[in-house]
Amino acid sequence: MHRFEIRVRYGDTDQMGFAYHAHFLRWFEIGRAEMLRALGTSYRALEESGTFLPVVEACCRYLKPGRYDDLLTLETGVQELNRASVRFAYRVLREADGELLALGSTEHCFLGRDGRPRRPQPELVALLRRAPRAAPR
């Protein structure tokens, strides 16, 4: 899986000092964007080419809390690629001890500029097939 490090900021925590649960979804987006960048493209380039990837499903299983100033590793991979959608999977680990904090996934459909479903361009399919793989759920 693609790996990217991020640090839990003070503003990422709740009153208990834990990384706020909604930030994990934001971190999934960061992991996804950085994986695409490592593959040689970006969300901006995809959208400029006329393909949009809205989230149609997101889930996260929280196992352990992250805390202020923890260095986290976001692992991202393509779990499933279909004709009209792609599912990414994520793992969030605390770098200091390798503890697994969360598991998640997001499913995205392929949309054209007109907001209608479309098949992805062959170049995007090839790129996603080259992407790091995540284990099936």
Domain ranges of the chain: 2-130
With CA atoms as reference, report the closest residue to 113 among 41, 48, 18: 48
**pLDDT tier at 113, thresholds 50, 70, 90:** very high
Interval 34-93: pLDDT, tens: 999 999 999 999 999 999 999 999 999 999 999 999 999 999 999 999 999 999 999 999
Residues 6+ apart with CB under 8 A from 34: 2, 4, 74, 76
User: How far is C-alpha 124 from the chain's CA centre?
Assistant: 17
Q: Does domain 2-130 have CATH number 3.60.20.10?
A: no
DSSP 22-50: HHHHHHHHHHHHHHHHHTT--HHHHHHTT
Residue tagged 């987006």 (tokens) = 29
Q: What element of type H or E holds 56?
A: strand 55-62
Q: What pLDDT shows up at residue 135?
A: 76
User: How far is C-alpha 42 from the chain's CA centre?
Assistant: 13
Does the pLDDT of residue 137 top 70, yes or no? no
